[in-house]
C-alpha cells in the first residue's frame, strides 16, 4: 500500500504526457484550453468513463480552461434520453460541471452543409453498393480496394442523390455518402470512408427531421471544430482514426482541433463494454444498471463509494500511453482510504452468537457513549443501548483457541467496546453440539474502559444489545466475474460463463438502532467488519445494507 502512495506522490511532481502536450501548446502561444467529454447516450457510464471525465475536466480545471459535455448522439437506434439524464447525473456526482452542454445532433444542419461542400469539391460521392459489397471491395491491408462503380458520378448527380437521400426518397441501406479519398490507402479507414447512412428512425432529439445520420468519423472531428476544442482527448483505439479526423478538418478548412489518445482503463474481474453491460441488464443477470456489482458509476454510488474515492482512483492509475489492466484491489483501496476518513463508525453483528450476562439485572438498559469517527472529532458521539442479552460475532469466540487468541474463550475475559469487561463462564450447546449461547458475567466497575482492580485485557470486541438490535438484510458483494479476465474462456464458452454465482450473498445482520437513521447511499463503518451503506431497496420495515468494501483486502489474497 505504501508503494501506491509513493507512486501518486511521484506522479504529482512530474507531468503526465497530456499535461506535457498542453504545456507545450501553451508555450507555443495557445491561449485557451478547451476539452470535452463526448459520451454516446447508449448506456450508463462506467468506471472507465469516470477516468476519461477526470482527465478531461481535470485538465481544463488545472489550466484554467473549459470542458464541454457533448453527447455523441448520431445513432438514433441505440440512444435514449434515459441515458442522457443518467450521464449528466453521474458527471455532477463525480464533482464536475461542464461549461457547455452540446449534442452532435445540434450540428446535423452544419454537417449536412459541409457534406454538400465536399461533394462540390469532388471529395464525396453517393454509392449504391450494399454494405456487403462495400466491405468486400475495401480490400485488405495487402490488397488494394476496388473502386465502386458509382465512384465517378458527376457532382450534379451526387448533389441530386444526396439531397434526395436526405428527403427520404430511398430505403435504409440502399445508398451511402462516401468520402472520395484513396481505395489503395495503407490506412484502411481512408478507403473511401462512409460519411452518411440512411436510417429511417426517430431520434430522441431531432425526431423525424432526419433520415440520414453521420458516421462517427465524419461527425466527431467537425463537432470538436465547431466547439473550438483545443485538445480532443480519447482512448487509444482511435489513434488510427486521427489522420482521417485531420483529413476532414483540412478538406473543409475549419478550426483545427487536434486529437490525443491515452490508454483506456481496464480492471481485473470487470468488463467495461456498454454493450455487454446492457446485455447483463436485459437478461436479468444483475438487478439493473445500478446493481452494486456493476462497474457503472451509478452502481458504485449505490454501493456506497464516494466521489472522492473514484477521483482518487483515477489519479492513482494515472494516464498511460499503452494499454494495461489495473487490479480491482486498487479501486477498493481508494474507497477504503477515503471512507476511513469520512465514514462514521457503528456496531453491527453479521454472524451472531448470543451472550447472556447472568449477573446483569433483567429488564435493565444502559446507554454507553460511542465515538462516531476517531479520525474526525467533529463527527461527535452517540448513545448505544446495553442490556442483559447481547449478540457478538461467532468468530470472536473460540472454545479451544490457539495461543494468541485475545478474544473470548471459556474462562477468559474480553472488553465489550465502549462497555464492560465480560468473562465467559459457560458454553451452552444444542443436541448436535453446536454452540447456541454463552453465559457470561460482567464486572460492574468496568464501564468506560476501567475495571474494579485496574486489570487490563487485550481483546476488545463489538456487540449489539439483542432486544434493541435492528435486523437488516445484508448484501455481501464479490467480484462479478470469477476470472481476472472475463474473456478468458474454455472452448465453446462465452464471457457470461465466467459470471460469479456468488457475486451477491445475502445474510441477516443485527445492527445497533442508530443505523435506522443512516441515509441511503451513505457508507458507515461497521466496526471491525467493513464499510456498508443502506441500499436503495431499504425501507423502514425492511432495512437493506450493501457492503461497500471489506476493511482489509481479503479476497485478493484468497483469489491469488
Ligand atoms: P464502451 O466501449 O463501453 O461502449 P465507448 O467508448 O463506446 O464505451 P463512449 O460513450 O463513446 O463509450 O465514450 C465516451 C468517452 O469515454 C470516449 O472519449 C471514450 O474514449 C472514453 N472511454 C470509454 N471507455 C473508456 C475506458 N475504459 N477508459 C477510459 N476512457 C474510456
Ligand atoms: Mg464509443
Grid coordinates belonging to 82: 434515459
Q: Where are the alpha helices (DSSP H) in 446-502?
A: none
Strands 348-349 and 504-511: antiparallel
Measure 323 CA to ligand 2 centroid, in angstroms: 17
> Which of 51, 166, 274, 346 is the catalytic position?
274
Instruction: Return the pLDDT at 557.
Output: 47
Give average pLDDT by consecutive 10-residue segment, the chain, 560 residues. Answer: 46 82 94 97 97 98 97 93 97 98 98 98 98 96 96 98 98 98 97 98 96 97 98 96 98 98 96 95 97 98 98 94 93 97 98 98 96 96 98 97 94 96 97 97 88 85 98 97 96 96 98 97 97 98 97 56
Instruction: Return the pLDDT at 5.
Output: 45
Instruction: Return the pLDDT at 12.
Output: 53
Residue 554 CA to residue 560 CA, distance in Å, equals: 11
274 an active-site residue? Answer: yes
- Residue 40 CB less than 6 A away from ligand 1: yes
> Which of 264, 345, 346, 382 is the catalytic position?
264
Instruction: Return the pLDDT at 560.
Output: 39
Grid coordinates belonging to 488: 478468458
| DSSP bridge pairs for 366 | 386
Atom number, ligand 1, closest to the C-alpha of residue 275? 4
Q: Where are the alpha helices (DSSP H) in 143-273?
A: 155-166, 216-226, 242-252
Q: Which residue's CA is minimally distant from atom 26 of ligand 1?
A: 48
Measure 73 CA to ligand 1 centroid, in angstroms: 14
164 an active-site residue? Answer: no
Residues 6+ apart with CB under 8 A from 325: 266, 267, 268, 484, 485
Residue 98 vs residues 62, 113, 228, 371, 514: alpha-carbon distances, Å: 14, 28, 15, 40, 38
Candidates 49, 98, 314: which one to mutate for ligand 1, based on the most atoms within 8 Å of Cβ?
Answer: 49
Instruction: Return the pLDDT at 454.
Output: 80
Measure 442 CA to ligand 1 centroid, in angstroms: 59
Measure 48 CA to ligand 1 centroid, in angstroms: 7
Residues 6+ apart with CB under 8 A from 103: 70, 71, 73, 205
What is the phi/psi pair of residue 340, to 5°?
-60, -35
Measure 141 CA to ligand 1 centroid, in angstroms: 27
Residue 121 CA to residue 114 CA, distance in Å, equals: 10
- Residue 265 CB less than 6 A away from ligand 1: yes
Grid coordinates belonging to 486: 472475463
- Residue 39 CB less than 6 A away from ligand 1: yes
Instruction: Return the pLDDT at 554.
Output: 54
Residue 359 CA to residue 105 CA, distance in Å, equals: 75
Candidates 16, 35, 39: which one to mutate for ligand 1, based on the most atoms within 8 Å of Cβ?
Answer: 39
Strand order in the sheet with 101-103: 34-37, 66-71, 101-103
Instruction: Return the pLDDT at 13.
Output: 60
Q: Which residue's CA is minimally distant from atom 22 of ligand 1?
A: 49
Q: Which residue has the cell 462516531?
A: 372
264 an active-site residue? Answer: yes
- Residue 285 CB less than 6 A away from ligand 1: no
Amino acid at each position: 500500500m505504501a508503494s501506491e502512495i509513493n507512486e501518486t506522490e511521484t506522479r504529482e511532481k512530474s507531468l503526465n504526457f497530456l499535461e506535457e502536450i498542453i504545456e507545450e501548446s501553451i508555450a507555443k502561444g495557445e491561449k485557451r484550453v478547451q476539452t470535452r467529454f463526448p459520451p454516446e447516450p447508449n448506456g450508463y457510464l462506467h468506471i472507465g468513463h469516470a477516468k476519461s471525465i477526470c482527465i478531461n475536466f481535470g485538465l481544463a480545471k488545472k489550466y484554467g480552461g473549459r470542458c464541454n459535455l457533448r453527447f455523441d448522439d448520431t445513432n438514433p437506434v441505440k440512444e435514449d434520453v434515459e441515458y442522457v439524464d443518467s450521464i449528466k447525473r453521474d458527471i455532477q456526482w463525480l464533482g464536475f460541471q461542464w461549461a457547455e452542454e452540446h449534442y452532435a445532433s445540434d450540428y446535423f444542419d452544419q454537417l449536412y452543409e459541409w457534406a454538400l461542400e465536399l461533394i462540390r469539391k469532388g471529395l464525396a460521392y453517393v454509392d449504391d453498393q450494399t454494405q456487403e459489397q462495400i466491405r468486400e471491395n475495401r480490400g485488405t491491408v495487402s490488397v488494394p480496394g476496388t473502386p465502386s462503380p458509382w465512384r465517378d458520378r458527376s457532382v450534379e448527380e451526387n448533389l441530386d442523390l444526396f439531397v434526395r437521400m436526405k428527403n427520404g426518397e430511398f430505403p435504409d441501406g440502399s445508398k451511402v455518402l462516401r468520402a472520395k479519398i484513396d481505395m489503395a490507402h495503407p490506412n484502411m479507414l481512408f478507403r473511401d470512408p462512409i460519411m452518411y447512412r440512411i436510417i429511417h428512425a426517430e431520434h430522441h432529439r431531432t425526431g423525424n427531421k432526419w433520415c440520414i445520420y453521420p458516421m462517427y468519423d465524419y461527425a466527431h472531428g467537425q463537432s470538436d471544430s465547431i466547439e473550438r476544442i483545443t485538445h480532443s482527448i480519447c482512448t487509444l483505439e482511435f489513434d488510427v482514426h486521427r489522420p482521417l479526423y485531420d483529413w476532414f478538418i483540412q478538406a473543409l478548412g475549419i478550426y483545427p482541433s487536434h486529437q490525443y489518445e491515452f490508454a483506456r482503463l481496464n480492471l481485473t474481474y470487470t468488463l467495461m463494454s456498454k454493450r455487454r453491460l446492457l446485455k447483463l441488464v436485459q437478461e436479468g443477470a444483475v438487478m439493473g444498471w445500478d446493481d452494486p456489482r456493476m462497474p457503472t458509476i451509478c452502481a458504485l454510488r449505490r454501493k456506497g463509494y464516494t466521489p472522492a474515492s473514484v477521483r482518487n482512483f483515477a489519479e492513482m492509475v494515472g494516464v498511460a500511453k499503452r494499454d494495461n489492466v489495473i487490479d480491482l484491489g486498487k479501486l477498493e483501496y481508494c474507497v477504503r482510504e477515503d471512507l476511513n476518513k469520512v465514514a462514521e463508525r457503528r456496531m453491527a453483528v453479521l454472524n451472531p452468537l448470543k451472550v447472556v450476562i447472568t449477573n446483569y439485572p433483567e429488564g435493565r438498559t444502559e446507554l454507553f457513549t460511542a465515538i462516531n469517527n476517531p479520525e474526525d472529532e467533529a463527527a461527535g458521539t452517540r448513545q448505544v443501548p446495553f442490556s442483559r442479552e447481547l449478540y457478538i460475532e461467532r468468530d470472536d469466540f473460540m472454545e479451544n483457541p490457539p495461543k494468541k487468541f485475545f478474544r473470548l474463550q471459556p474462562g477468559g475475559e474480553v472488553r465489550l467496546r465502549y462497555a464492560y469487561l465480560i468473562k465467559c463462564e459457560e458454553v451452552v450447546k444444542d443436541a448436535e453440539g453446536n454452540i447456541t449461547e454463552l453465559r457470561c458475567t460482567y464486572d460492574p466497575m468496568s464501564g468506560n474502559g476501567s475495571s474494579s482492580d485496574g486489570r487490563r485485557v487485550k481483546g476488545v470486541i463489538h456487540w449489539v444489545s439483542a432486544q434493541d438490535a435492528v435486523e437488516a438484510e445484508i448484501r455481501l458483494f464479490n467480484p462479478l466475474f470469477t476470472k481476472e479476465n472475463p474473456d478468458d474462456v474454455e472452448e465453446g464458452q462465452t464471457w457470461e460463463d465466467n459470471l460469479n454465482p456468488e457475486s451477491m450473498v445475502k445474510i441477516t445482520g443485527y445492527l445497533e438502532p442508530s443505523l435506522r437513521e443512516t441515509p441511503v447511499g451513505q457508507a458507515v463503518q461497521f466496526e471491525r467488519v467493513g464499510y456498508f451503506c443502506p441500499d436503495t431497496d431499504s425501507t423502514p420495515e425492511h432495512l437493506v445494507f450493501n457492503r461497500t468494501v471489506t476493511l482489509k483486502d481479503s479476497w485478493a489474497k484468497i483469489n491469488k
